[in-house]
Structure 1
Amino acid sequence: MPTTARASGPNRGRVGRPRAQGPAADGLAPRDGVLAAAAELFTRHGYAATTTRAIAERAGLRQASMYHYFAGKEDILAELLEGTVQPSLDLALVLAARAEPSAEARLWALCRADVALLCGGPHNLGALYLLPEVGAERFAAFHRVRAALKAAYRELLAATAAGAALAGPELELRGDLLFGLIEGVILIRRGTPAEPAEVLAPAAADAALRLSGAPEPAVADAAVQGARLLGTLHV
């Protein structure tokens, strides 16, 4: 799954002003270059310590030109954060609408893809969830999408054989624990940044199925079916 934040908001599709130093060496469009530069600087030096001037310079833009794409740091951060959850929510809605394979396999597929999204990029953007600034109203859209993704996890969990035996607060708690396990890879990646996403993602998905209450044979079957499903969906 892609890890670059999706384009959104009123600036989508606008033509940018010229760069200060010509095209970026990495070949990114100016808007994407700003997002990539901010992702690097936010995760390396911290959000508060990163200035818009530093972002613009890293992206090869004049600072004034950067404001053609984003109103400020909050807008950049909001788009980066939404890009870490929106693709997983889109996939979750597709999986929830399917009747097959099993709910266990679809839950496994969502877990694996979500971890791959969180860990697949060069920067640990999930660590930005913990910023105190993310509690501001500007990030309400991110919180809505994240809450919708959490609800989609719970819906898939409830459709599994083990989840069907749960009810009310117990189901909600189990869903919260499962969602927390998946997002916990953010902390794992912070401690062991070299851990390959292709190893961590299926391991986390297996652990999530075990946490859901699925017996070991069901976990193994879900992994096979879930991987096949992701292949058919080109995820």
Structure 2
Amino acid sequence: MNTRSSRRVGRPRAQERPASGLEPREEVLAAAAELFTTHGYTATTTRAVAERAGLRQASLYHYFDGKEAILAALLEGTVRPSLEVAHELVSRTQASPEARLWALCHSDVALLCGGPHNLGALYLLPEVQTERFAVFHRVRVELKAAYGELLAATEPGAALDAEDLALRTDLLFGLTESVILIRRADPGHDPQALAAATADAALRVAGVPQRSLARLRREGQQLLAAGA
């Protein structure tokens, strides 16, 4: 038997990493997430990302055309899942809008805080304001609009005029994303506890009375458990 000819041929790796089960593209994203958040985006080169992923630098360019493309993919991964949840919750009109808003906020915070690296902190990079990241910004705007749609459907939200509704939506969305700074200052927070506390606070910002929070929290948890 010719073992040389039967050996599987793939893209050569620069070095071996412990088996992660990830495809090479996902290995690159995992390596970049670690390096961007620990060493800094500017200080990290594509060579360093490739080496951390166990690939040759030339192989990295098979998946991404450069460092900005890697960053864009990481950022989009912090908002697309939440937008999918938001679309599902907006359509679940049999549930109260307050419970759906709680569930969206909880899900969004859990995503932002659930990974090993604080990718949300990358939102603050000046590079993210360029046209290269237009898709990320578009998805983020759609996500904020879903917050606004659910807020407008609540009893307190229905009493707001357009200007106040827009302001309250900005506050809700900003509250959710504030966990990025909380996590940066104290990485030890339990993601689920932080998600629940932020979702409670979001309903209070929305104008929901304190006495209703426990019931709406239960309803929101049921929505999430049902796969909303």
What amino acid sits opposite 1:222 in the alignment?
L
Q: Gapped runs of 5+ residues in structure 2?
A: 1-9
CA-CA distance at 1:222 after TM superposition: 1.1
Residue number among 150, 161, 164 corresponding to 2:144 in the alignment: 150
Q: Does residue 113 of the first structure (1) align with residue 114 of the second (2)?
A: no
Please name the residue that 1:43 is paired with: 37
Q: Does residue 207 of the first structure (1) align with residue 201 of the second (2)?
A: yes
Please name the residue that 2:4 is paired with: none
What amino acid sits opposite 2:166 in the alignment?
E
Q: Does residue 122 of the first structure (1) align with residue 116 of the second (2)?
A: yes
CA distance in 2, matches of 1:145, 1:43: 22
Please name the residue that 2:5 is paired with: none
Q: Secondary structure at the match of 1:194?
A: coil
Residue number among 171, 185, 188 corresponding to 2:165 in the alignment: 171
Q: Does residue 87 of the first structure (1) align with residue 77 of the second (2)?
A: no
Q: Gapped runs of 5+ residues in structure 1?
A: 1-15
CA-CA distance at 1:219 after TM superposition: 1.8
What amino acid sits opposite 1:141 in the alignment?
V
CA contact (8 A) 1:24 1:59 kept: no
Pairing 1:47-66 to 2, within 5 Å after superposition: 47-66=41-60
Sequence identity of aligned pairs in percent?
68
CA distance in 2, matches of 1:100, 1:231: 16
What amino acid sits opposite 1:48 in the alignment?
T
CA contact (8 A) 1:24 1:33 kept: no
CA distance in 1, matches of 2:11, 2:103: 41
Larger displacement relative to structure 2 (173-182 or 24-33)? 24-33
What amino acid sits opposite 1:117 in the alignment?
L
CA displacement, residues 75-99 of structure 1 (integer Å, 9 cap, x when unaligned):
0000000000000011101110111
Please name the residue that 1:161 is paired with: 155
Q: Which TM-score applies when normalising by structure 2?
A: 0.93
CA contact (8 A) 2:107 2:195 kept: yes
CA contact (8 A) 1:104 1:218 kept: no
CA-CA distance at 1:167 after TM superposition: 1.4
Please name the residue that 1:75 is paired with: 69
CA contact (8 A) 1:88 1:149 kept: yes
**Structure with greater Cα Rg:** 2
